[in-house]
Amino acid sequence: MATVPKVDVGTDYKEKYGFSVPEDYIFKAKRGLNPEIVKEISWMKKEPEWMLNFRLKSLEIFRKKPMPNWGADLSVIDFENIFYYLKASDKQSTSWEDLPPDIKKTYDRLGVPEAERKFLAGVSAQYESEVVYHSLHEDLSKKGVIFTDTDSALRDHPELFKEYFGTVIPPADNKFSALNSAVWSGGSFIYVPKGVRVDIPLQAYFRINAENMGQFERTLIICDEGSFVHYIEGCTAPIYTTDSLHSAVVEIIVKKNARCRYTTIQNWSTNVFNLVTKRALAYGDATMEWVDGNLGSQITMKYPSVYLMEPGAKGDVLSVAFAGKGQHQDAGGKMIHVAPNTTSTITSKSISKGGGRTSYRGHIKMYPGANNSKSFVKCDALLLDDESRSDTYPYNDVDAENVTLGHEATVSKVSDEQLFYLMSRGITRSEAETMIVNGFIEPFTKELPLEYAVELNRLIQLEMEGSVG
Amino acid sequence: MADFEIKDLRASVEGKQILKGVTLAINKGEVHAVMGPNGSGKSTLSHTLMGHPGYTVDGGEVIFKGQNVLALEVDERARLGMFLALQYPVVVPGISMTNFLRTALNAKRGYDGKDKSKQISPKEFRSMLKGELEVLHMDDSFLPRYINDGFSGGEKKRAEILQMAMLKPEIAILDETDSGLDIDSIKFVAEAVNRMRGPELGVLIITHYTRILEFIKPDFVHVLVDGKFVLSGGPEIANRLEKTGYAEWGEADEPKEVA
């Protein structure tokens, strides 16, 4: 009889992603949040005054806004126990060799340089608060493509930056966008000129290393008319017994006839609170696609949205969430139809295991005048046992005429018949379950570049085999 | 001692006793047919042998390679050399037939995701698959499709037979493989099984109708009525059933499909 060795996902995550390296930092701000910390961050970055004022105003807004009283339970977050700014290296490198050894080792272990060599057109690596490595294929920069970290963009492209920054997601949008606006650091800035197609993906890798770290990257992507870009982000962190906070803001502008795809493979350790605001504006006949994979984290609240601003604009959200023991994935999407003849789809797949909880939360709004628009929402939940839970919270507001709005939701369990069938071919129970889950999320996986699809299937396998740690 | 011995097997479904003591010895190289009217326990026999969780064993044993397979998990029985071609093959969305076949082959070879030396190489897999498709006179159009998803009845049965050919079991149970098939598909399945027949394979064909037995000549025929064999013998029993049906055991069911 063949026996399958058990993989302990806790151990395996620790080995592959969950390790940490010593803190040997250039600058570590004190714990807690106050105007002095915000001033210190801005001073460290040598920012123009308007940005400092933007930050301080955002901090006030954050203070005034109550915690969201819907979604996941966030009452355990202690904002005064978090480090808001950690700088691990005094310069940004364009060569992995130039990085401080511990940081280089970290990215080597995560396989980022290898991925860059094989299939990426540009890479950004953020370590704690700052981007430490950056690269972009030369032919793309010759075509006028800008791919840099957001701090550098503020310095090097001030006009472009100021024109768009904070216009898609103002600080007052929600409590966490206000927090991000006050203490933001790092993130990616991308500008794709008119008619330029970036055929090979650009990737950013976000890494938290220190305990009680707060990572607040800020990403701004501008796709000019008729352009295309595919941006991929990956995220991991060490396993600590106390919590870390990741609260990003991602703003995207997709101009006429342009297309932007934004793919996330988030694999935070289960001590991370992941509270992210992602929003795109899509203009005439433009397409915005969010491909959003949420594994890991303790709590995720994330609802990528698309504002369909002009006729013919199209928005897609395709998301997968996996919640294991002690995890709550509250995810979904928002489609705001402002103009007529706009279309949107949201496809949400969730898997709950070992008492984990997934929620789909979605909002479809069709403003007066957004006539002849179409939206379709499909949520499928897979429960792997009786202790796990899945809920659906769809909100629809339709004030337009002659519109089509569809919503389909299913909740299913791994069926005995499927398990029996696969096992009757010699496949072990755990492998059969993994196959069924991978088959369930295949509509998502098939949208990923091959290397990421393979990695996602492997991550699912780890989540399935272990007692999720 | 036969290669595969079913001894006094008793089994129930949802508390109702269905199999009331079935005994049968199968040797490799032999083809046995179990025939019976609806409700006689044919499906219960096939599913209990393979270990479906919906069927409860109440007694008896099944000895194969010195082990009582009733104590084994479903996948362990399969890796030991048992195969069940299902009457209703199950749909599994999102997994291609190719992936399924490769995973099953790797499982059979003891590959657990760790020891790469046990894994079948892509080249070896492709050439094996090509060979079996040729032998079975099958095209490969359904291989990229999801497991049984949108397959016609005939395609499903062909896919089952391909799995059997790839996994090379020593004991194959064909559960009503002929039901719902047109005559061409029945012939196809029968020819494929005939090609696989040989000293390394014992076959148990479970069927309601005599028709498939015109194409796969059984060495032994057993009649199952109300959870027990009421008659066992050679292929002549199938001929007798074709004429008289199950009436002599008080069953009105006809063993011939009404055309």
Size of interface A-B (CB pairs under 8 A): 94
The answer to whether A423 and A432 have CB atoms below 8 angstroms apart is yes
What is the b/e burial string over B61-88, where b = at least 16 CB atoms within 10 angstroms of the residue's CB? ebbbeeeebbebebbbbbbbbbbbbbbe
pLDDT at A3: 38
Please, which residues 131-190 of chain B have a Cβ atom closer than 8 Å to chain A?
146-147, 163, 167
Contact B95 A421 (CB under 8 A): no
Contact A425 B110 (CB under 8 A): no
Contact A435 B167 (CB under 8 A): no
A4 vs B258, residue with greater confidence: B258
Contacts of B100 in chain A (CB under 8 A): 422, 425, 435
Contact A428 B107 (CB under 8 A): yes
Query: Looking at CA atoms only, how far is residue B207 from chain A in angstroms?
Result: 20
Split at pLDDT 50, 70, 90, the class of B188 is confident
Query: How confident is the model over B133-144, as pLDDT tens digits?
Result: 888 778 888 899
Contact B50 A428 (CB under 8 A): no
**3-class DSSP string for chain B:** CCCEEEEEEEEEECCEEEEEEEEEEECCCCEEEEECCCCCCHHHHHHHHHCCCCCEEEEEEEEECCEEHHHCCHHHHHHHCEEEECCCCCCEEEEEHHHHHHHHHHHHCCCCCCCHHHCCCHHHHHHHHHHHHHHCCCCCCCCCCEECCCCCHHHHHHHHHHHHHHHCCCEEEEECCCCCCCHHHHHHHHHHHHHHCECCEEEEEEECCCHHHHCCCCCEEEEEECCEEEEEECCHHHHHHHHHCCHHHCCCCCCCCCC
Task: Please tell me which of the candidates A418, A424, A439 has its beta carbon nearest to residue B78.
Answer: A424
pLDDT at A198: 95
Residue whose C-alpha is closest to residue A283's, from A263, A260, A250: A260
pLDDT at B259: 40
Task: Please tell me which of the candidates A2, A431, A436 has its beta carbon nearest to residue B110.
Answer: A2
Query: Looking at CA atoms only, how far is residue B52 from chain A in angstroms?
Result: 6
- By C-alpha distance, the chain A residue nearest B79 is A426
pLDDT at B16: 95
Contact A442/B at CB under 8 A: yes
Task: Please tell me which of the candidates A4, A424, A439 has its beta carbon nearest to residue B112.
Answer: A4
Task: Please tell me which of the candidates A416, A420, A426 has its beta carbon nearest to residue B79.
Answer: A426
pLDDT at B41: 95
Query: How confident is the model over B76-134, as pLDDT tens digits?
Result: 999 999 999 999 999 999 999 999 999 999 999 988 777 788 889 999 999 999 998 88
- By C-alpha distance, the chain B residue nearest A441 is B94
Contact B115/A at CB under 8 A: no
Contacts of A439 in chain B (CB under 8 A): 92-95, 146-147
Contact B113/A at CB under 8 A: yes
Contacts of B74 in chain A (CB under 8 A): 420, 423-424
Contacts of A461 in chain B (CB under 8 A): 113
Query: How confident is the model over B9-65, as pLDDT tens digits?
Result: 999 999 999 999 999 999 999 999 999 998 899 999 999 999 999 999 999 999 999
Task: Please tell me which of the candidates B52, B53, B78 has its beta carbon nearest to residue A426.
Answer: B78
- By C-alpha distance, the chain B residue nearest A433 is B92
Contacts of B92 in chain A (CB under 8 A): 418, 421-422, 435-436, 439
Task: Please tell me which of the candidates B79, B93, B114 has its beta carbon nearest to residue A5.
Answer: B114
Query: How confident is the model over B138-172, as pLDDT tens digits?
Result: 888 889 999 999 998 888 998 999 999 999 999 99
pLDDT at A87: 86
Contact A443/B at CB under 8 A: yes
A351, A421, A464: best to mutate for the B interface, most B CBs within 10 A: A421
pLDDT at A282: 98
pLDDT tens per residue, chain A (469 residues)? 333 334 444 556 777 787 888 877 878 888 889 999 999 999 999 999 999 999 999 999 999 999 998 888 898 899 999 999 988 887 788 888 888 888 888 888 888 888 888 888 888 888 888 888 888 888 999 999 999 999 999 999 999 999 999 999 999 999 999 999 999 999 999 999 999 999 999 999 888 888 888 999 999 999 999 999 999 998 888 877 788 999 999 999 999 999 999 999 888 888 899 999 999 999 999 999 999 999 889 999 999 999 999 999 999 999 999 999 999 999 999 999 999 999 999 999 999 999 999 999 999 999 999 999 999 999 999 999 999 999 999 999 999 999 999 999 999 998 899 999 999 999 999 899 999 999 999 999 999 988 888 888 888 887 887 543 3
Contact A443 B94 (CB under 8 A): yes
Q: Kindly indicate whether the ipTM for this predicted assembly is greater than 0.90, answering yes or no.
A: yes
